[in-house]
Amino acid sequence: MLGLDELVALWVLYWFDRNGTPQQRAILKVHPRGNPANPLRGVFATRAPVRPDLAALSRCQIISVVENFSEIDAIDAFPDTPVLDIKP
């Protein structure tokens, strides 16, 4: 954590382990924003919340760093979600 206190934000790579079911994650084409009026697109060309890959990435503002603990402003993850890595 040495040096994180000098940064404004960081990238958190985490495992979205409670996101959807295997059946939902097998859907590869969606209507953007869940609106059937929008043409079908591949899930990777949208911001669909349920995706085939459970890896997730969020840019988070750093609030504070104390010893081995970094407090961030917000992240789209549940408590105890496994964090894979953080990047400056």
- Enter the pTM of the model: 0.78
3-state secondary structure of 34: helix
Q: Which two tokens stand for residue 11?
A: 């990238």
What the block records as the tokens of 4 is 């994180």
Residue-wise pLDDT for 25-74, tens only, equals 999 999 999 999 999 999 999 988 888 999 999 999 999 999 888 999 98
Each residue's pLDDT tens digit, 16-25: 999 889 999 9
Contacts of residue 65, Cβ cutoff 8 Å, sequence gap at least 6: 1, 4, 5, 71
Cβ atoms of residues 63 and 71 within 8 Å: yes
* CA dist., res. 1 & res. 7, Å (int): 11
Give the single-character DSSP code of 82: P
pLDDT of 49 reads 84
